[in-house]
Amino acid sequence: MLQKKRTLADLQNAAEFIARHVGPSTEDQQQMLSALGCGNLQELTEQVVPEAIAMTEDLAIVDGCTEAQALAELREIASHNKVFKSFIGQGYYGTITPNVIQRNILENPAWYTAYTPYQPEISQGRLEALINFQTMISDLTGMEMSNSSMLDEGTAAAEAMALCQRMSKSKSSRFFVDSDCLPQTIEVIKTRAEPMGIGVEVADPADFDGEAFGILLQYPGASGEVRDYRDIIGKVQAQKGLAVMAADILSLVLLESPGSLGADVAIGTTQRFGVPLGFGGPHAGYMATREAYKRNLPGRLVGLSQDANGNPAYRLALQTREQHIRREKATSNICTAQVLLAVIAGMYAVYHGPEGLQRIAQRVHLLTSVLAEGLRLNGMVPTNKHWFDTLTLNTGSGTDAIIKAAAEREMNLRQIDAEHIGLSIDETTGTEDIIALWDILLGENSLDLDALAAEVAAALPDDLIRTDGFLTHPTFNSFHSETEMLRYLRKLADKDIALDRAMIPLGSCTMKLNATAEMLPITWPEFSNMHPFAPHDQTGGYRAMIDELESMLCAATGYDAMSLQPNAGSQGEYAGLLAIRGYHESRGDTHRTVCLIPSSAHGTNPASAQMCGMQVVVTKCDDQGNVDIDDLKEKAATHSENLAAIMVTYPSTHGVFEEGIKEICQIVHDHGGQVYIDGANLNAMVGVCQPGKFGGDVSHLNLHKTFCIPHGGGGPGVGPIGVGKHLEPFLPKEVEGGDRRGAQVSAAPFGSASILPITWMYIRMMGRAGLKQATEVAILNA
Ligand SMILES: Cc1ncc(COP(=O)(O)O)c(C=O)c1O
């Protein structure tokens, strides 16, 4: 039989990815459809999605393309990032990801496709990896216990403030913040404090009078100074307040731990333990505290238990998972955390062991001291008396010229103000960099680096030098060769079931295939080595990708603007409600603080609302989890005057497209409230209906559900928010002087930027038709 000649376009197979992404074959789909009595996917979708909200037009997204084409396009975009050597520091440092960790964790689906370890029998590997992280943190911070990661250092500090408020017996409503804290931490603290009625005072701890329910101290400070905070900690504790120390994890290898200085809580980031800069994230923040506060520790905690046969087994302890978030009584809304990054940081410590970490920390410190000594000999004395890795220099009127000279050599320094520069040294700094810095800062010089390195003294205060041991557990002292490490990682991965082995029969939200082509770009140096505060003209690639992604997500949701700052769904909820709050305030409606939340809502909804200073009013649901519209009408009328918003999940938590959604939105709008549609289940809507068009004013999306970012065993995630035009000005601020003037919710301007290429790739390869098909097949599968 003569075969019909296939066209070039046909052979090119531009839609190749759609068929690879969508699991069930056409035959499988047909079989399922006929069991449902439907002729095709469209018919089923029409039956399921209420007509009143169904999209009638195509998604405004271009057609999909092949994997090779999408990768080539993204490569071109990435080439607009100029990766300079960074000395900016400020909480983000160059680090060397051990190759064995990069290949076998970060790039290994056994680790990155795993789900949150709710089911311990299939999660012993990652639970052990998280126990390593927790042990590493409690050892280095000298605290009794640690959780298994926070979203970043800024939010960890804000969560610590909430813990202090809850646990302190002080009557004060003041939280004192060391003016030498990282600027982005101060911003996030201020954001969190305002709706909670907390007064934040940012000042020099030397001027602290003791009156506060808590204090936050940076160790070492953003200036690089290393201060002994024992007296200040004593002062706040004497007045029943609690002390939090934000501590640099690498410095703790050499410095007395926060616990030994008397702190109640220690927080920070573990980014510099092998996790690439990635333009600000994702990285694992940490929080450690006293045993006495364990029930108030936010996030997840892994504990050692016994299985049915009496054998030791790990599990999530104290039920801190999201189903148990204390809803409207919560102080924290964290759900998705940073598991994959915590696993990497913990394994970095396993790989290097205590001696390896000491070598790295000592080298960083010695290079910093050599740099400082060379400067001092030439009359440029750092303004900080002590340091671990950071120097502040008074460069006076020469500041701009120095920054420019450094940029010409592809080096970024931190410009603190018109007359000061900061320099941070890290694991990636070489001796040639120190020489280059001397040249830039001093001009002509005759310094001999080796001679200085042999002579120079340490610059840590004598009474802050660490004397106790850490990481003594055998795990941190056994796997130092690559073979041993490789086998250890494999042994742990083999204990778990992730998507690389099987479907995970849990309420796995809307997990998707995390295709290899989507994952490849995240370790491209153009994306992974970018500092979040690199100058604007070096980050063109990131910005172009972010702009395109924002447009793609607006097209998918029907919203007018999108913010990619929130680094989890919970943070999106928080940012979205703050936008609503800002909007009401801008209209003089400061009394609009009531938030209606149906009883079937996810625990993060009421938790976020109360963190925004809103009063949660729970509305009834029927047995199927559908909103009881009569009850909603009644409550909306009762609270009409003060109605701020409703938070409604669509399709509902029970997986149903409620017919009444348009009416629900209308009722709330009629009473002057805003509609927050929780978009965690957007997987069932892309291409078939748009929350921004059927009544939503704001939604968060979970890119780690609908848009292919892998769950990583419980994070990372991205929780962007889409908003209508009227809410755009209240989106989180990203850059100074931009149009968005809402409060900053994450430490980095674009939250977890380095994993955004995953979503970009997914949308680009699927295109309008593929995205719609994925939705329709998801509905069919359900
Ligand atoms: C309906 C709903 N809303 C919000 C969230 C919170 O998202 P995240 O875990 O990214 O913080 C989830 C996560 O499971 C969810 O299912």
- CA dihedral over 362, 365, 368, 374, signed as positive or negative: negative
- Ligand 1 close to Cβ of residue 602 (< 6 A): yes
Among 7-11, 31-35, 364-368, 477-481, whose mean pLDDT is lowest? 7-11
Cα of 255 from ligand 1 centre, angstroms = 38
Task: Count CB-CB contacts under 10 A for residue 460.
Answer: 20
**CB 597 less than 6 A from any atom of ligand 1:** no
CA 590 to ligand 1 centroid distance, Å: 28
Reference 190, options 151, 152, 158, 236; nearest CA is 158
To test the pocket of ligand 1, the residue of 604, 682, 746 to mutate (highest count of ligand atoms within 8 Å of its CB) is 604
Is 344 part of any domain? yes
Give Cβ neighbours of residue 289 (< 8 Å, ≥ 6 apart): 143, 144, 145, 146, 163, 264, 265, 266, 297
Taking the CA of residue 334 as reference, the ligand 1 atom at the shortest distance is 11
Q: Is residue 679 part of a domain?
A: no
717 within ligand 1 shell (Cβ under 6 A): yes
pLDDT at 494: 98
**Separation of 765 CA from ligand 1 center, angstroms?**
26
Task: Estimate the crossing angle of helix 339-377 against helix 431-442, to 10 degrees.
Answer: 50
Domain holding 312: CATH number?
Answer: 3.40.640.10
Report CA(325)–ligand 1 centroid distance (Å).
11
Cβ atoms within 10 Å, residue 454:
9
Query: How far does the centroid of ligand 1 lie from the alpha carbon of residue 604, in Å?
Result: 7
CA of 118 to the centre of ligand 1 (A): 15
Contact status, residue 138 vs residue 145, Cβ threshold 8 Å: yes
328 pLDDT band (50/70/90 cuts)? confident
Rounded to 5°, angle at Cα 287 from 183 and 426: 55
652 lines ligand 1 (CB under 6 A): no
The answer to whether residue 396 scores a pLDDT higher than 90 is yes
Q: Whose CA is nearest to atom 6 of ligand 1?
A: 569
pLDDT of residue 513: 82
| Residue type, position 470, single letter | F
Cα of 683 from ligand 1 centre, angstroms = 13
- What CA–CA distance (Å, rounded) separates 269 from 342? 10
> pLDDT for 686-723, tens place per residue?
999 999 999 999 999 999 999 999 999 999 999 999 99
Ligand 1 pocket test: pick from 602, 621, 654, 707 the residue with the most ligand atoms within 8 Å of its Cβ: 602
Domain assignment present for residue 758? The answer is no
Give, to the nearest 10 degrees, the angle between helix 339-377 and helix 482-494.
150
Closest atom of ligand 1 to 571 CA is: 11
Radius of gyration of the chain (CA): 26
- State yes or no: pLDDT of 751 exceeds 50: yes
Say yes or no: CB of residue 437 within 6 Å of ligand 1: no
For residue 319, what pLDDT is reported?
61
Task: Give the pLDDT band (50/70/90) at residue 743.
Answer: very high
Burial class (CB in 10 A: 0-12, 13-18, 19+), 390: buried
Cβ of 509 closer than 6 Å to ligand 1, yes or no, is yes
In 237-335, DSSP assigns E strands to 242-247, 265-269, 285-289, 302-306, 312-316
Nearest ligand 1 atom to alpha carbon 570: 11
Pick the residue whose CA is nearest to atom 7 on ligand 1.
569
Q: Which of 570, 571, 650, 685 to mutate to test the pocket of ligand 1 (most atoms within 8 A of CB)?
A: 570
Write the residue with the smallest CA distance to atom 10 of ligand 1. Answer: 569
CA distance 218 to 204: 11
Is the N-terminal amide bond of 474 cis, ω within 30° of 0? no
Angle 41-48/756-781 helices, nearest 10 degrees? 90
Residue 112 within any structural domain of the chain: no
Q: What is the pLDDT of residue 325?
A: 62
**392 CA → ligand 1 middle, Å:** 42
Compute the distance from residue 8 Cα to the ligand 1 centre, in Å: 44
Burial of 80 (0-12, 13-18, 19+ CB in 10 A): middle
User: Beta strands 721-723 and 674-679: pairing type?
Assistant: unpaired
Candidates 322, 334, 574, 653: which one to mutate for ligand 1, based on the most atoms within 8 Å of Cβ?
322
The answer to whether position 582 is within a domain reads no
706 ligand 1 Cβ < 6 A: no
Cα-based angle 24, 25, 27 (whole degrees, multiple of 5) = 120
Determine the Cα–Cα distance for residues 66 and 758; give it in Å rounded to an integer.
15
Ligand 1 proximity of 721 Cβ (cutoff 6 Å):
no
Amino acid occupying residue 628? D
* Beta sheet of 145-146, edge-to-edge order: 145-146, 285-289, 265-269, 242-247, 214-219, 174-178, 199-203
**With a 6 A CB cut-off, is 700 part of the ligand 1 pocket?**
no
For the chain, what is the domain count?
Answer: 1
* Cα–Cα distance, 80 to 85 (Å, whole number): 16
Q: Is the CB of 568 under 6 A from ligand 1?
A: yes
Q: What whole-number distance in Å separates Cα of residue 661 and Cα of residue 145?
A: 45
Digit-coded pLDDT (tens) for 96-125: 999 999 999 999 999 999 999 989 999 999
Does residue 183 register a pLDDT over 90?
yes
Residue type at 114 in one-letter notation? A
- Asked if the model's pLDDT at residue 326 lies above 90, the reply is no
Is the CB of 702 inside a 6 Å radius of any atom of ligand 1?
Answer: yes
3-state helix, strand, coil in the chain (%, to 5): 45, 15, 40
Q: Does residue 603's CB lie within 6 angstroms of at least one atom of ligand 1?
A: no
User: Residue 507 — very low, low, confident or very high, per pLDDT cuts 50/70/90?
Assistant: low
Cβ proximity of 217 and 189 under 8 Å: no
Q: Coil, strand, or helix at residue 705?
A: coil
402 CA → ligand 1 middle, Å = 46
Cα(754) to centroid of ligand 1, in Å?
21
One-letter amino acid of 237: Q
Q: What is the mean pLDDT of the chain?
A: 95
What distance in Å separates the CA atoms of residue 267 and residue 256, rounded to the nearest whole number?
15
pLDDT per residue over 255-287, tens digit each?
999 999 999 999 999 999 999 999 999 999 999
For ligand 1, atom 16, which residue shows the shortest CA distance?
680
How many angstroms separate the alpha carbon of residue 397 from the centre of ligand 1?
A: 50
Pair of tokens at residue 448: 């001999």
How far out from the chain centre does Cα 351 lie?
Answer: 24
CB of residue 335 inside a 6 A radius of ligand 1: yes
* Mean pLDDT along residues 212-230: 98
Judge whether 566 and 700 are in contact, CB under 8 Å: yes
Report whether 54 contacts 688 (CB < 8 A).
yes
| Ligand 1, pocket-test mutation among 150, 321, 335, 567, most atoms within 8 A of CB | 335
The residue whose CA is least distant from atom 15 of ligand 1 is 680
Nearest CA to ligand 1 atom 9: 336
Tens-digit pLDDT profile for residues 528-569: 999 999 999 999 999 999 999 999 999 999 999 999 999 999
Question: Does 569 contact ligand 1 (Cβ within 6 A)?
Answer: yes
**Domain-located, residue 774:** no
Residues 574-618: tens digit of each pLDDT: 999 999 999 999 999 999 999 999 999 988 999 999 999 999 999
Q: Is the CB of 570 under 6 A from ligand 1?
A: yes
Q: Which residue is listed with tokens 């169904």?
A: 54
- DSSP assignment letter at 53: G
**Are 162 and 330 in contact, with CB atoms under 8 Å apart?**
no
Distance 705 CA to ligand 1 centre (A): 9
Please indicate whether residue 680, judged by its CB atom, sits closer than 6 Å to ligand 1. yes
Domain of 278? Answer: 123-349
In a domain, 268, yes or no: yes
Give pLDDT, residue 323: 47
d(CA 114, CA 288): 25
Minimal-distance CA residue to ligand 1 atom 12: 680
pLDDT for position 329: 80
CA 571–ligand 1 middle distance (angstroms)? 10
Residue nearest to atom 14 of ligand 1 (CA): 509
Q: Which two tokens stand for residue 612?
A: 């925004």
- Return the pLDDT at 10: 86
3-state secondary structure 549-561: HHHHHHHHHCCCE
Q: Are strands 414-417 and 420-424 parallel, antiparallel or unpaired?
A: antiparallel
List Cα–Cα distances, 780 to 48, 104, 511, 774, in angstroms.
10, 35, 15, 10
User: Residue with the nearest Cα to atom 8 of ligand 1?
Assistant: 569
Average pLDDT, integer, range 237-242: 97
Scanning 106-152, the segments in alpha helix (DSSP H) are 109-112, 124-141
> Which pLDDT score is estimated for 542?
98
Relative to the CA of 649, which ligand 1 atom is closest? 1
Question: Which of helix, strand or coil describes residue 615?
Answer: strand
C-alpha of residue 336 to centroid of ligand 1, in Å: 7
Q: How many residues does the chain have?
A: 782
Q: Report yes or no on 341 lying in a domain.
A: yes
